[in-house]
Amino acid sequence: MNKVTIIGAGLAGCEAAYQLSKRGVHVDLYDSKPHKLSPAHHSEKLCEIVCSNSFKANRVNSAAGLLKEEMRTLGSLLLRCADRCAVPAGGALAVDRALFSDMVTNAIMNDPHITYIPKELTAIPEEGVVIVATGPLTHEALAADIVSRYGKSLRFFDAAAPIVAAASIDREHAFFESRYGKGGAEDYLNCPMNKAEYEAFYEALVSAERAPVHEFDVMNPKVYEGCMPIEVMAQRGKDTVRFGPMKPVGLRDPRTGHRPWAVLQLRKENAAGTMYNLVGFQTNLKFGEQKRVFSMIPALHDAEFLRYGVMHRNTFIDSPRILNSDYSDKENKNRFFAGQLTGVEGYMESASSGLLCGINAARLLCGRATVTLPPTTMMGAMARYISDPFVTDFQPMGANFGILPELPNRPRDKAERGQAYADRALADLKRFMEENEIDSLS
């Protein structure tokens, strides 16, 4: 039967559905929305962005940028939508999250080959080709089914940053500037602090009351470093935050002519610039504590918080033991896993795994061999990492040059080195697509 069942209509599931549809395969796309939302979701739309609205660096000589360029080459729906609803963010690709979700939802709902079924599946179907893309917030029943089939699953906590109203930011205590002058002049709104202000803020932060975790999240909690809550980071030492998300390097306060002691950067949350998110301020503080502590930053002394930060569960399987490098189940080639459930970490990383699952599920239905992209590509390297049987203490992995094979003549300059990785990857990808008759179909 020329049909694939996809469980989960997030970034990975929607990208997989689109890739299958473009290859003439009908998709039954299941998701619990709008009848049941996870603790971190609020919208009924598909591909809701619940953490930062940044998809990380866009320049091709960066690891994240190379990943995006590979996805563009393969005809990614989500990258096309993201490019169309981008908001200024220096060298990063950040999106108006509401517009992004609208665009993806419209594309999926109006696709004649995709049937959206608003129903929670509590178990993986036994028949047919299935892609499981339920993400880091997989509902309890399906998570229990996955554990019953595969045994040990790992959990850690992911955290989102607050959003404030632009009009409520005190511009007398803020200035526009990108670090080292990179990007647009108004990509980041900087909120400087002097030493006394920062130390008072720090003491309040480390003593603030945190929100309780959900009862189903208390088993073996782990915090992933990439989304470390600001209050947890602060516990490591007084200067940890000042050398992390509040680092002042590359910035100069026009009021003093000097580098501030610490800086909170704000980034536009939407294209209209009416909302800003607190960059690097993922948190699990109680809402009242967030208002109290973060308002100690001079520019936010009267800030209107449109969304407070939240902390939520992130679940992923022991992929090196379970998955092949084409994202298929080692025990059942008709079953694929995609997205953060596999241990790829990041929005575009998740979407890229869905893209490959869609291509491979279509090839499987046509009686063709599934593929793993070359190890020199970012997508291929990530697929190999999450399926590497030598990885014993498996943890989520985002795009980075460290997982690529070393360059034969490695440039010493970082930018040149990144460009060399990118040139090699994109050349190998295009050659691989020709050899394996993979069309972007965009």
Please state, in angstroms and as integers, the Cα–Cα distance from residue 386 to each residue in 63, 157, 158, 201, 425, following that order.
17, 19, 19, 40, 19
pLDDT (tens digit, 0 to 9) for every residue of the chain, 442 residues total?
689 999 999 999 999 999 999 999 999 999 988 766 665 556 678 998 877 899 999 999 999 999 999 999 999 999 999 999 999 998 899 999 999 999 999 999 999 999 999 999 999 999 999 999 998 888 889 989 998 998 866 666 667 789 999 989 999 999 999 888 777 778 899 999 999 999 999 999 999 999 876 544 444 445 555 678 999 999 999 999 999 999 999 999 999 999 999 999 999 887 778 889 999 999 999 999 999 999 999 999 999 998 888 876 678 899 999 999 999 999 999 999 999 999 998 899 999 999 999 999 999 999 999 999 999 999 999 999 999 988 877 878 889 888 898 899 889 898 999 999 999 999 999 999 999 999 887 6
pLDDT digits (tens, 9 = 90+) for 171-228: 999 999 988 877 777 889 999 999 999 999 999 999 999 987 654 444 444 555 567 8
Strand, coil or helix: 339: helix
* pLDDT for position 1: 64
Backbone phi and psi for residue 82, each to the nearest 5 degrees, phi listed first: -60, -40
* pLDDT for position 218: 44
* pLDDT for position 204: 97
* pLDDT for position 43: 66
* pLDDT for position 226: 62
How buried is 211 (Cβ within 10 angstroms: 0-12 exposed, 13-18 middle, 19+ buried)? middle
d(C-alpha 337, C-alpha 19), whole Å: 15
**Domains of the chain by start residue, with CATH:** 3-155+315-435 (3.50.50.60), 163-309 (2.40.30)
Q: Which of 225, 182, 27 lies closest to 112, judged by CA?
A: 27
Q: What is this structure's pTM?
A: 0.79
* Bridge partner residues of 204 (DSSP): none
The secondary structure of residue 412, as a DSSP letter, is S
CB 319 within 8 A of CB 337: yes
In one-letter notation, the amino acid at residue 358 is: G
d(C-alpha 322, C-alpha 150), whole Å: 7
pLDDT digits (tens, 9 = 90+) for 257-289: 999 999 999 998 877 788 899 999 999 999 999
In one-letter notation, the amino acid at residue 195 is: K
Q: Which of 277, 234, 215 lies closest to 53, judged by CA?
A: 277
pLDDT digits (tens, 9 = 90+) for 152-186: 666 666 677 899 999 899 999 999 998 887 777 78
The pair of structure tokens assigned to 64 is 């994240």
